[in-house]
Structure 1
Amino acid sequence: MSRTHPTEPAPDPRFPFPHTPGPTRCRRDPALFDLDLGDLSGDTKEAAQQRLEEARRSCSACPAVTACLRWALVNKTLTAENVFAGTTPGQRHALRRRLADRLGPDWVDVLAARDQARHARAEAARHTPLPVSQARIVDLDRELNGPLRLLPQLTAEEQRLNRSRLVAGLKAA
């Protein structure tokens, strides 16, 4: 929900904005996520809180919530307002502080280096065959357990549980 202006800095290219195959709730209904709790814009505090809870519920069911949170944390100037990945600006500030405490003041560079290393390992794995001993283990696993099944879509209860975990994590921040 960023309002990009020519004077605003560009997003960090190492962390692209998350994309999904279909439109997400924030793309279909951006006004729901355009919420600054300090400026209620005619809403009562209760109405603003309800909008925030609805935005958080939408985020908890989104397939891009993790990538969205990472993007929002890295691009501080672009996410100074509104709800991103179910978080408010204050919650994102607290999360950035925790990341800086854990990874150091250059935590964004640390995350970018970790991502780059992960992508390099994944790319190498695609082009490097498994050793015979590991290939045997994979074959045995398939023989005993059948082919790998795709995970089913989250049920409403699983979405509720994920949302409660997200809220608990944000409160702990």
Structure 2
Amino acid sequence: MKAKPPDILTDTIVRRPRLTGTEPCTRTEAKVQFFHASYDTRRPEVQAALRACRRCPLNAECNIWALARPEQVSDGIFGGTTPRQRLTQRRQLVDRCGDEAAVENVLRRAYQQAVHRRTRNTNP
């Protein structure tokens, strides 16, 4: 039996948020685009994507997931942030935590808290 090649999208720090199909990024009829040639936040199409993303109930989880995977999500708007904003957030985390292991722990805890907050708010 052949060994299965490693899946580069395997989530080792936090899992990808479970999408329901109602999120702005999953609606095929939506006019909002989440991938652009430029992520200048003054551009109307980037502002529209950021607004749509920030209204999503999975916003916090998606942002944390993207922060945990900078090499795979270096493009696109995720969790209401542009690539540059995520890079800044990631650098601040590394500066504050000191090393990658500590960053991973912070992201895991933050993700668990975001899931808990969302599920508590949607299941009163």
Q: Distance in 2 between matches of 1:18 and 1:63?
A: 10
Pick the structure with more helix per residue. Answer: 1
Bigger CA radius of gyration: 1
1:69 aligns with 2:63: yes
TM-score by length of 1: 0.52
Between the aligned residues of both structures, percent identity stands at 28
Q: Distance in 1 between matches of 2:103 and 2:46?
A: 27
Runs of 5+ in structure 1 lacking a partner? Answer: 1-5, 39-44, 123-149, 153-173
- Alignment map for 1:17-96 (pairs within 5 Å): 17-29=16-28, 32-37=33-38, 49-96=43-90
Amino acid at match of 1:32: Q
1:12 aligns with 2:11: yes
TM-score by length of 2: 0.69
Displaced runs of 4 or more, over 6 A: none
Q: Distance in 2 between matches of 1:37 and 1:98?
A: 23
Q: Distance in 2 between matches of 1:95 and 1:115?
A: 14
Q: Distance in 2 between matches of 1:112 and 1:86?
A: 17
Amino acid at match of 2:61: A
Q: How many residues align?
A: 110
- Report deviation, 1:69: 0.2
Q: Distance in 1 between matches of 2:87 and 2:21?
A: 29
* RMSD (Å), alpha carbons: 3.6
1:109 aligns with 2:71: no
- Report deviation, 1:105: 1.9
Task: Decide whether the 8 Å contact of 2:51 with 2:80 is kept in 1.
Answer: yes
- Report deviation, 1:13: 2.8
Runs of 5+ in structure 2 lacking a partner? Answer: none
